[in-house]
């Protein structure tokens, strides 16, 4: 994969592409800064700079020069170049198919919509947001038509986040997943031996949480010479450049789980970015396969490592060095049960492992209905609440806790939510595959997680985006999308926690 074997046009193409990466670094640093450090008054000018630089990237991605590279290198004999061209061509086509004026209107609409949504959520006033959402849905329908699809209009949108995954794929797995989760949740609800979280929800100073979170990142093998941990309101991981992959977290002094499991989650994303192949740096394939595969990495670490009983058997002593005195009175197993409490919530981002996929399915069904014009925006609040009641057994009393809770629609993103549930299933499948050569629990007991990280590096991270998600999954696990691994994991784990 060294540049030595590239032709001169290939080298030129990579040099050209590197400009996009350079602008990307500036944009990502600005975004990180806005979400962690930037003073308020500078935000307005910063937004203008961000939009200026994004425009430059757009120009490079959709230029005649780019088209010329695509035409010249489509049949390159080098696999990296060939795949790179496929990736940039897809973006080129997606962008060029939308008339410039329409795209501008859409960008303006979404930038207004986000602040309207913020206010609407605060006031729990769906009607305020409705006209914007109606326009956003209409734009997404138009875009889907421009981009094209084979079977279902929603496929055109899904493809932006999870290439190769279609409505057909999802409709094959989601109903089974929903039914199986329904059975498990019923067992949880009727359990007579539920965990108690009272003892763990005690005041836990932020600095102590941070110190422990840093310890855990270190155990995971996160490279602090190529990253750092900062505080934010909405946690994220970001690759400012490939050797500068930062993690952020949020502290709730009355519930340490937010920061600790949030850090492990974002740390999982960061390990993916830090694990990309150095030989691919600055090429279009030096990127995650998809949102879903990215999420498989974060959920892998958060759930299969961080919420694993062996993890707490091994590290509870360490944890007690940071935790308030009162934790010393909590038996290790009770602590483990408490951090894994299953409890339906209105808010997706506060959901436990078991109910989380149901939140996603609700959004998926509504999005699919909207894009296929089978349901109308005006009916969303009612539909949302009905589905919450049906799937989770709870009904939001206000739209702020229901249809208005997520930012995604206001910024124009349709087709993104399914990746969260896909990542979860991918993750469980990867866990099964990894367990064939590596015993996660043993690695934890050895206080050496490097075999786990190494396996993920070799099987996922190093490959960049050379393959599409379902192809990669097949290559690594030997099978296609299969929800059984997730169900099996949840059945085993929660049967023990809830003693059913």
243 contributes a contact to its own copies by CB under 8 A? yes
Q: How far is CA 74 from the centre of its chain?
A: 31
60 lines the binding site for its own copies (CB under 8 A): no
Q: What would the two tokens of residue 204 be? A: 């836990």
User: Rule CB under 8 A: is residue 46 a binding residue for its own copies?
Assistant: yes
- The smaller minimum CB distance to its own copies, of residues 38 and 407, is found at 38
> What span, in angstroms and rounded, lies between the C-alpha atoms of 162 and 483?
17
CB-count exposure of residue 168 (10 Å: 0-12, 13-18, 19+): exposed
Q: Provide the minimum distance between the beta carbon of 16 and its own copies in the complex, in angstroms, as a whole number.
A: 12
Determine how many CB atoms are found less than 10 A away from the CB of residue 45.
9
Q: Which is nearer to its own copies, 235 or 412 (CB)?
A: 235
Is 408 flagged in the annotation as binding? Answer: no
DSSP 214-271: HHHHHHHT--GGG--EEE-SS--EEEEETTEEEEEE---TT-THHHHHHHHHHHHHHH
Q: Is 244 in the site for its own copies (CB under 8 A)?
A: yes
Judged by CB under 8 A, the residue of 5, 52, 379, 478 near its own copies is: 52
- CA atoms of 114 and 134, how far apart (whole Å): 14
- Scanning the structure block, which residue is given the tokens 């102590």? 208
Please indicate if the annotation marks 295 as binding a ligand.
yes
Cβ neighbours around 378 below 10 Å, total: 12
Per CB under 8 A, contacts with its own copies among 112-131 are none
Write out the two tokens for 282: 């600055």
Confirm or reject binding of residue 214 to its own copies (CB under 8 A): no
346-357 in b/e burial notation, b at 16+ Cβ within 10 A?
A: bebeebbbbbbb
Q: Give catalytic status of residue 48 as yes or no.
A: no
Residue 458 CB contacts under 8 Å (≥ 6 apart), including other chains: none
CA–CA gap between residue 262 and residue 302 (Å, rounded):
8
Question: Of 10, 89, 266, 367, which residue is the catalytic one?
Answer: 266
The annotation status of 265 as a binding-site residue, yes or no, is yes
Which residue, 95, 69, 82, 79, is CA-closest to 17? Answer: 69
In the range 279-308, which residues lie near its own copies by CB under 8 A? 281
Interface mask (CB under 8 A) for its own copies, residues 215-234, using x and -?
--------xxxxxx------
Does residue 178 touch its own copies according to CB under 8 A? no
- Kindly indicate which of the ranges 43-51, 118-126, 152-160, 314-322 contains the residues binding its own copies, using the contact rule CB under 8 A: 43-51
Question: Nearest distance from residue 219's CB to its own copies, in Å?
Answer: 19
Compare residues 59 and 317 and give the one whose CB is closer to its own copies.
59
> Binding of its own copies at residue 453 (CB under 8 A)?
no
- Please state the closest distance from residue 30 (CB atom) to its own copies, in A: 6
Binding part of the chain for its own copies, among 45-53, 126-134, 371-379, 444-452 by CB under 8 A, reads 45-53
Helix ranges (H only) for 284-325 are: 291-299, 309-322
Annotated binding-site residue numbers for Zn(2+)? 265, 269, 295
Which chain residues interact with its own copies by CB under 8 A?
19, 22, 25-26, 29-30, 33, 37-42, 44-46, 48-49, 52-53, 223-228, 240-244, 246, 281
Show which residues are catalytic: 266
């Amino acid at each position: 994969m060294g540049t030595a074997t590239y032709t001169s046009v290939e080298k030129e193409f990579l040099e050209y592409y590197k400009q996009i990466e350079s602008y990307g670094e500036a944009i990502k640093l600005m975004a990180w800064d806005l979400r962690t450090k930037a003073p308020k008054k500078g935000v307005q000018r910063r937004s203008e700079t961000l939009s200026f630089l994004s425009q430059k990237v757009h120009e490079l991605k959709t230029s005649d020069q780019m088209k010329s590279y695509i035409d010249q290198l489509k049949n390159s004999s080098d696999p990296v170049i060939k795949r790179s061209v496929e990736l940039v061509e897809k973006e080129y086509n997606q962008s060029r198919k939308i008339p410039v004026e329409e795209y501008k209107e859409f960008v303006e609409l979404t930038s207004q919509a986000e602040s309207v949504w913020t206010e609407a959520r605060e006031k729990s006033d769906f009607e305020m947001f409705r006209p914007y959402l109606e326009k956003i849905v209409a734009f997404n329908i138009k875009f889907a038509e421009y981009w094209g699809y084979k079977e279902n209009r929603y496929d055109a949108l899904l493809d932006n986040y999870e290439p190769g995954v279609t409505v057909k794929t999802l409709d094959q797995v989601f109903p089974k997943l929903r039914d199986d989760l329904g059975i498990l949740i019923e067992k949880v609800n009727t359990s007579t031996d539920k965990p108690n979280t009272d003892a763990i929800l005690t005041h836990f100073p932020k600095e102590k949480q941070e110190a422990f979170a840093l310890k855990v990142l270190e155990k995971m093998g996160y490279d602090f010479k190529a990253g750092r941990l900062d505080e934010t309101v909405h946690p994220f991981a970001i690759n400012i450049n490939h050797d500068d992959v930062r993690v952020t977290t949020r502290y709730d002094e009355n519930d340490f789980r937010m920061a600790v499991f949030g850090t492990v989650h974002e740390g999982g994303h960061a390990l993916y970015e830090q694990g990309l192949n150095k030989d691919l740096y600055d090429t279009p394939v030096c990127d995650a396969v998809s949102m879903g595969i990215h999420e498989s990495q974060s959920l892998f670490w958060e759930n299969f490592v961080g919420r694993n009983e062996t993890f707490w058997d091994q590290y509870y002593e360490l944890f007690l060095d940071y935790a308030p005195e009162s934790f010393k009175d909590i038996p290790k197993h009770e602590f483990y049960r408490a951090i894994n409490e299953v409890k339906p919530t209105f808010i997706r981002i506060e959901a436990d492992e078991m109910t989380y996929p149901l939140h996603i399915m609700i959004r998926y069904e509504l999005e699919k209905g909207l894009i296929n014009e089978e349901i109308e925006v005006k009916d969303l609040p009612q539909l949302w609440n009905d589905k919450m009641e049906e799937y989770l057994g709870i009904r939001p009393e206000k739209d702020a806790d229901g249809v208005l809770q997520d930012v995604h629609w206001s910024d124009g993103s349709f087709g993104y939510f399914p990746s969260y549930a896909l990542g979860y299933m991918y993750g469980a499948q990867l866990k099964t595959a990894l367990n064939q050569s590596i015993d996660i629990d043993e690695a934890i007991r050895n206080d050496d997680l490097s075999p786990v990280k190494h396996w993920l590096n070799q099987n996922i991270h190093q490959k960049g985006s050379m393959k599409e998600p379902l192809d990669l999954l097949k290559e690594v696990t030997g099978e296609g999308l299969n929800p059984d691994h997730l169900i099996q994991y949840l059945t085993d784990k929660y049967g023990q926690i809830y003693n059913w």
